[in-house]
Amino acid sequence: MTKCLDDIAYVRAGDKGDRVSVGVLARQAKFYPAVLASVTPGTVAALYGDWVKGPIEVFPMPNINGCLVLMHDALGGSATNTLRFDQTAKALGTAILRLPVLAP
């Protein structure tokens, strides 16, 4: 059975304008390499598809066993202007936990 990122990490998310930032933090230090292997611009882009129109950047944060995912043009204009139902950063951040865990 494939593990989901939710099994090894948790998230905190926020938005500003049309950008979403998601902090993905390993639940234990030993899970950090798997978090980095699983959370890449490619895997995040595949998860969200056309919802994220701009570039996706992933910044490792080894000092806290996590990474920051920054998605540009990700809210359909902005959280207050979008026609999407409940697609703020909190909803998108929670969805990232569905990514499968990949071996480092």
Residue 33 maps to a domain: yes
Residue 71 maps to a domain: yes
Q: Given this model, what pLDDT does residue 80 score? A: 58
Predicted confidence band at 103 (pLDDT cuts at 50, 70, 90)?
A: confident
Residue 63 maps to a domain: yes
**How confident is the model over 29-64, as pLDDT tens digits?**
999 999 999 999 999 999 999 889 999 999 999 999
Residue 11 maps to a domain: yes
Q: Given this model, what pLDDT does residue 76 score? A: 67
Angle at 66 between CA 63 and CA 70, to 5 degrees: 120
- The count of domains in the chain is 1
**Whether residue 84 has pLDDT greater than 80:** no
Residue 30 maps to a domain: yes
Residue 103 maps to a domain: no
**At 81, which CATH number?**
3.30.70
Q: Given this model, what pLDDT does residue 42 score? A: 97
Q: Which domain holds residue 28?
A: 5-96
Cα 84 to Cα 80: distance, rounded to the nearest angstrom? 10
Residue 27 maps to a domain: yes
Burial of 46 by CB count in 10 Å (0-12 exposed, 13-18 middle, 19+ buried)?
exposed
**Whether residue 83 has pLDDT greater than 60:** no
